[in-house]
Amino acid sequence: MTSQNRLTGAIALTGALLCGLILAQGPGTYAQDEGVVQVPGRAGGAGRGGAGQGGGGQAGQGQPAPARRGGFTQFTRPLASQDVLVRGRALYETNCASCHNVDLRGGDKGANLLRSGIALRDQKGELVTFAINQHKPPFNFTEADSVAVAEYIHSIHATMAGQGSPPGRYPQNITLNVLVGDPKIGEQQFGRLCGSCHSATGDMRGIGGKFKDARALQNGWVSASMGAAAGGGGGQGGGPQGAGLPAVVTMADGSKLEGTLVRQTDFLVVLTLADGTRKSMARVDGVPKVYVRDSEAGHKATILKLAFEDSDNSIMHNITAYLATLK
């Protein structure tokens, strides 16, 4: 027998052994990665999304059938009757919402149930009931109560938006428009709040024409990242530890040097002086001290002021509408 024939025979034998192993498992065995969890002491029957929905056969005793292949369980699972959902909602909002939030997003005290593996794998209340029975402090729930809560959670999952977002967070076929302000009023407010550093004929000239999306324009001026938002360079935040920003270096004897910071570490400070020369200074125990001037300090103060006096965001929208006219 040639080596090629021996290899072919080995492959055929291996395939036959694997087929026999798979068939020996029987129809009542499901892999854990299909989202099926065995709960001790509960008889499963045919789970929702199993047989009759393109599932994989009948479930074994005590084990629910897997959801329909090719679809997420929350979208293929039939909903419970309306009376069960109403009961579950009342129980959830009374007992669970204070920790898990009304929209199931969770919080500091409770997990996000929109992404909970237990809630998503649950078939007919078996996993949620088990979790509720372990809750501290305990709930005085009957099994029917726990199942109703589980079914209510499933009904929310069925309307869930993409990436586990709450229902309705990303409405479809809706165009968001931030150009809802008054540009005439915005011109006056821009002059009052921003005019000391910016002007429509200077750095803001033509800014409205640099943005295809008004939301990017608004985000750009609010965050002081107009260049990056318009497709140009980044903001003026400087590099690591303030590199590229104006700085004052205080020497051990109290004398000061001003310039543009090139680099600072625990052992070295490099500064470019006003005449263009570069000065390197050894640093020991934080001396010389380096103070980096925040080039955006004025903008941050203005935005903070705006946050206090613009409770309805009308000033922000007015300024955005005005900047959009500068083309």
Would you state the pLDDT for residue 321?
Answer: 93
Q: How far apart are the first and last CA of the chain?
A: 83
Would you state the pLDDT for residue 186?
Answer: 93
Is the whole-model pTM more than 0.85?
A: no
| Domain identity same for 157 and 264 | no
Would you state the pLDDT for residue 287?
Answer: 93
Q: What is the CATH number of the domain that holds 150?
A: 1.10.760.10
User: Shortest CA distance to 321 belongs to which of 225, 210, 193, 180?
Assistant: 180
Q: What length is written for the chain?
A: 327
| Domain identity same for 100 and 152 | yes
Neighbours of 230 (CB within 10 A): 16
Mean pLDDT in each 10-residue stretch from start to end of the chain (327 residues)? Answer: 54 48 38 36 36 37 40 72 88 88 85 87 90 87 91 85 53 65 93 88 90 84 63 44 81 92 91 91 92 79 81 88 93
Write out the residue range of the structural domain in which residue 307 sits: 183-236+297-323
CA dihedral 184, 185, 191, 193 (to 10 degrees): -150
| Domain identity same for 276 and 307 | no
Name the domain count of the chain. Answer: 3
Is 286 inside a domain boundary? Answer: yes
Counting beta carbons within 10 angstroms of the beta carbon of residue 211, is it exposed (0 to 12), middle (13 to 18) or buried (19 or more)?
Answer: buried
